[in-house]
């Protein structure tokens, strides 16, 4: 029987390959474990993996990475084809191919469109920038829907020459919103996917994947352009086909994301289930129930981290509020909104509890209940959390939630108050 030698050491490259070091005949030999996949870089698929996937994949990324990237690739390909059709229409609209069109007129139209886009970026980032982290899935999907609307407007614009400039500017404004929302939510999802502080590597490989997809889209577009030129019916038909694929892929992409950090929606889903039957949902279960479309609230809105004067208006109200519970936050219902004022020394656990109370109040504050007295409802919320929150918080940890940080939409106001106000 052949002497295999004495095993000295074993090393692995992530989950990709394994090597054994053997002492034999006074020398050390290295042998690759034959049960593993082909060596990294020694096969076509190994090369593709090293070029387009983050180092250390799959251990270095979240479990939902591959499924999300698959659907993200599909949506990017379909969006590339739709963009080709929209670009052709825009060029035709500014006069490309029209001998009567002037360079000056086309330049003015393009400058107006770019100027509108720049202003749109600034205004949207000012109004909604703080929502893009806490509601990344919703704004990611919204951005792609709005992008399809903008491209459809570009395709229709040449049929309305008198309104072309207005349509082009509106389309540019929509695309500016898409640029801000899409880029910001992509960054938020990258933070979620990174498991080894490798956000830059994941972002770079995502860029490589997108570039490859756009290259494939470019090649297909070279075939499409001669077919759709001067054929509006075919252009619109193909656009709707690509748009349907784009929206479906985007929906599947955001649905595949399983975030372990709590935002208001996921916390609300988990809390309602816990109060119903005492069971804490896992991140997978709660993410499946999380809505991914922007919607009008049917409950009282919640504002977290507000100023003291938005919760209480007199020293007596403040004294009564502090007597209800020795907690690092104050909570009240004013002007049809649940508002929470947070202490400067509050921790993440306190933020989660305060939000839980606000969520409960938001869902039970029907007009009939409000007639019973807002202060009584607030008092009930404190009593409920006194008995239920500790078990709920421990359940969140046991179920796999990351409770060391949150994506709750807190504003920056913080308050310091004396332990007792007489």
Question: According to the 3-state scheme, what is the secondary structure of 369-410?
Answer: HHHCCHHHHHHHHHHHHHHHHHHHHHHHHHHCCEEEEECCCE
Helix boundaries (H) for 280-373: 283-289, 315-324, 348-364, 367-371
- Strands 261-262 and 402-406, sheet pairing: parallel
- The predicted-structure confidence for 275-300, as pLDDT tens digits, reads as follows 999 999 999 999 999 999 988 767 78
Taking the CB of residue 404, how many other CB atoms lie within 10 A of it?
10
pLDDT reported for residue 305? 94
User: How far apart are alpha carbons 33 and 12 in whole angstroms?
Assistant: 10
pLDDT reported for residue 38? 46
Task: Return the SS3 of 9.
Answer: strand
Q: Where are the beta strands (DSSP E) in 25-153?
A: 27-32
Token readout for 142 is 């919204």
pLDDT reported for residue 96? 47
Q: Rounded to the nearest 5°, which phi and psi values hold at 105?
A: -65, -40
pLDDT reported for residue 22? 82
- The predicted-structure confidence for 144-185, as pLDDT tens digits, reads as follows 999 999 999 988 888 888 888 888 899 999 999 999 999 999
- Strands 27-32 and 17-24, sheet pairing: antiparallel
Residue 203 gets the label, from left (phi > 0), alpha (psi -120 to 50) or beta, of: alpha
pLDDT reported for residue 41? 44
- Strands 337-342 and 329-334, sheet pairing: antiparallel
Q: Rounded to the nearest 5°, which phi and psi values hold at 410?
A: -85, 135
pLDDT reported for residue 1? 41
**234: burial class by Cβ within 10 Å (0-12, 13-18, 19+)?**
middle
CB 224 within 8 A of CB 84: yes
Sign of the dihedral defined by the CA atoms of residues 120, 126, 127, 132, in that order: positive
Which residues in the chain come in under a pLDDT of 50?
1, 36-41, 96-101, 421-422
pLDDT reported for residue 144? 94
| Residue 195: DSSP 8-state | S
Half-sphere exposure of 50 (CA within 13 A, CB side): 13
pLDDT reported for residue 368? 54
| Residue 129: DSSP 8-state | T
pLDDT reported for residue 212? 94
Residue 127 gets the label, from left (phi > 0), alpha (psi -120 to 50) or beta, of: alpha
User: How far apart are alpha carbons 192 and 252 in whole angstroms?
Assistant: 17
Taking the CB of residue 184, how many other CB atoms lie within 10 A of it?
21
pLDDT reported for residue 348? 95
User: How far apart are alpha carbons 280 and 359 in whole angstroms?
Assistant: 16
CB 167 within 8 A of CB 178: no
Residue 406 gets the label, from left (phi > 0), alpha (psi -120 to 50) or beta, of: beta
pLDDT reported for residue 366? 62
């Amino acid at each position: 029987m052949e002497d295999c030698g004495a095993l000295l050491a074993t090393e692995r490259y992530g989950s990709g390959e394994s090597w054994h070091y053997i002492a034999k005949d006074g020398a050390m030999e290295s042998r690759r474990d034959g049960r593993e996949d082909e060596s990294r870089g020694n096969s076509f698929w190994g090369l593709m993996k090293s070029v387009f996937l983050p180092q250390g994949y799959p251990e270095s990324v979240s479990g939902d990475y591959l499924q999300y990237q698959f659907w993200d690739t599909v949506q990017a390909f379909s969006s590339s084809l739709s963009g080709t059709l929209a670009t052709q229409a825009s060029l035709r609209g500014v006069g490309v191919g029209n001998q009567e069109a002037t360079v000056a007129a086309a330049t003015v139209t393009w400058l107006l469109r770019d100027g509108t886009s720049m202003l749109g970026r600034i205004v949207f980032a000012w109004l909604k920038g703080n929502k893009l982290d806490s509601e990344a899935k919703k704004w990611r999907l919204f951005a792609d829907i709005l992008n399809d609307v903008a491209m459809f407007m570009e395709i229709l614009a040449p049929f309305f020459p008198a309104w072309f400039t207005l349509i082009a500017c509106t389309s540019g404004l929509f695309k500016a919103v898409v640029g801000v929302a899409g880029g910001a939510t992509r960054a938020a999802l990258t933070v979620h996917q990174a498991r080894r502080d490798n956000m830059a590597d994941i972002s770079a490989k995502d860029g490589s994947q997108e570039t490859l997809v756009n290259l494939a889209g470019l090649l297909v577009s070279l075939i499409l352009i001669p077919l759709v030129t001067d054929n509006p019916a075919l252009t619109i038909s193909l656009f709707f086909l690509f748009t349907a694929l784009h929206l479906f892929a985007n929906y599947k992409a955001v649905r595949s994301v399983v975030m372990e950090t709590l935002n208001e929606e996921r916390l609300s889903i988990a809390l309602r289930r816990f109060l119903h039957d005492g069971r804490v949902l896992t991140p997978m279960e709660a993410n499946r129930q999380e809505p991914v479309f922007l919607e009008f609230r049917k409950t009282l809105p919640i504002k977290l981290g507000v100023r003291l004067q938005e919760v209480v208006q007199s020293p007596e109200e403040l004294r009564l509020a502090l007597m209800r519970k020795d907690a690092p936050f104050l909570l009240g219902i004013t002007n049809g909104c649940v508002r929470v004022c947070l202490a400067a020394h509050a921790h993440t656990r306190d933020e989660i509890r305060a939000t839980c109370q606000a969520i409960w109040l938001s869902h039970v504050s029907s007009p009939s209940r409000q007639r019973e007295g807002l202060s009584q409802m607030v008092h009930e919320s404190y009593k409920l959390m006194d008995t239920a929150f500790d078990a709920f918080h421990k359940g969140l940890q046991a179920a796999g939630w990351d409770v060391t940080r949150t994506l709750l939409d807190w504003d920056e106001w913080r308050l310091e108050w004396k332990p007792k106000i007489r």
